[in-house]
Amino acid sequence: MTKILITGGTGMVGKYIANQLIIQGHEVVLLGRKSGVFNGLTCYRWNPTSKEVDIAAFQGVSSIIHLAGAGVADRAWTDAYKHQIYDSRIQSTRLLIETLRHVPHQVSSFVSASAIGIYGNNCPEPTTEDKPAATTFLAKVCRDWETEALHAEKIGLRTTIMRIGVVLAKEGGFIPQVAKPIRFLAGAPLGSGKQLLSWIHIHDLAQLFIKATFDEQMRGVYNAVAPHPETNKTITYAMAKRLHRPILLPPVPLFALKLIFGEMTSMLVASQHISSRKIETAGFVFRFPTLNQALDDLHGKQ
């Protein structure tokens, strides 16, 4: 049995990864804003802003999965919230590594989240991990986040970074956001609807993080996306079929999205064809490689 520490373990992805690790017989502890017990797991307190962390969290831990960070789609991108998105990732990563630099520990591997936002909003060709970071806000966040995470290599930890695509799950994220208006006959593609979404089923994402945690051959950056991206329009209509609702409205025009979402619109209509070749070459086999397989699992067959 291996003991693994997860930051951001109270979020949708963190909870799923923790559950999968426990099923596989591992022990999981969390770092969070409040100490106590969360879903049966011991949670130790930390505050990256004030550089506080309970070092008892690291006792007996051999691997860290770092997911902490303010949600990029949780609210409008005001200047204050953009600072929170950025600082929550940079400060938390820096605190983890600085703590490990100065306290006794048994940690040997460090797996950090990042996002395909690092590539910018327009990736028409299959994009691999060697593409330089774009100049958008999210790209800067991801670039600096990864820079901090890679400092773990300097203290002797095998370090892996997972650039996460659009996560498909029942519990939250993209799918419920698409499904809600469809249920009320208000669903429609966004913008042109032609933009490609590089997505991943939450089960495959969890297994990718677990593979990165234990596979000694894995280090560096990997795209955490399924092999077959789909357009926004295709996903919208596929969800409508499974919910037995028609799509009655025309695509939501770009100007309307900007009125509602402001700067966040750039993320909502980004077109990203991101390659999964590197992770597949590393030996990972997707359980849900196609959109229909993913939606069949999450919402039943058409």
Q: What pLDDT was estimated at residue 171?
A: 87
- Measured in whole angstroms, the distance separating CA 298 from the mean position of its chain's CA atoms is 18
Phi-psi region of 42 (alpha: psi -120 to 50; beta: other; left: phi over 0): beta
Q: What pLDDT was estimated at residue 225?
A: 98
Tens digits of per-residue pLDDT, 21-35? 999 999 999 999 999
Closest CA to 68 of 172, 168, 145, 132: 145
One-letter amino acid identity for 247?
A: I
Per DSSP, 219 falls in state -
Q: What pLDDT was estimated at residue 213?
A: 98
Q: What pLDDT was estimated at residue 302?
A: 59
Query: Where exactly are the structural domains of the chain?
Result: 3-169+200-225+275-287
Closest CA to 65 of 268, 213, 222: 213
Residues of the chain with pLDDT under 70: 301-302
Rounded CA Rg of the chain: 19
CATH class name, domain 3-169+200-225+275-287: alpha beta
Distance, in Å, from the CA atom of 220 to the CA atom of 110, rounded to the nearest integer, reads: 11
Q: What pLDDT was estimated at residue 260?
A: 84
Distance, in Å, from the CA atom of 246 to the CA atom of 152, rounded to the nearest integer, reads: 50
C-alpha torsion sign, points 215, 218, 224, 225: negative
**Full DSSP string of 187-205:** ---BTTS--EE-EEEHHHH
Output the average pLDDT for the chain. 95
One-letter amino acid identity for 35?
A: S
Bridge-partner residues for 64, per DSSP? 5, 110
The pTM (predicted TM-score) of the whole model is: 0.96
Pairing type for strands 230-231 and 199-201 reads unpaired
Distance, in Å, from the CA atom of 279 to the CA atom of 230, rounded to the nearest integer, reads: 19
Q: What pLDDT was estimated at residue 174?
A: 87
Q: What pLDDT was estimated at residue 113?
A: 98
Q: What pLDDT was estimated at residue 17?
A: 98
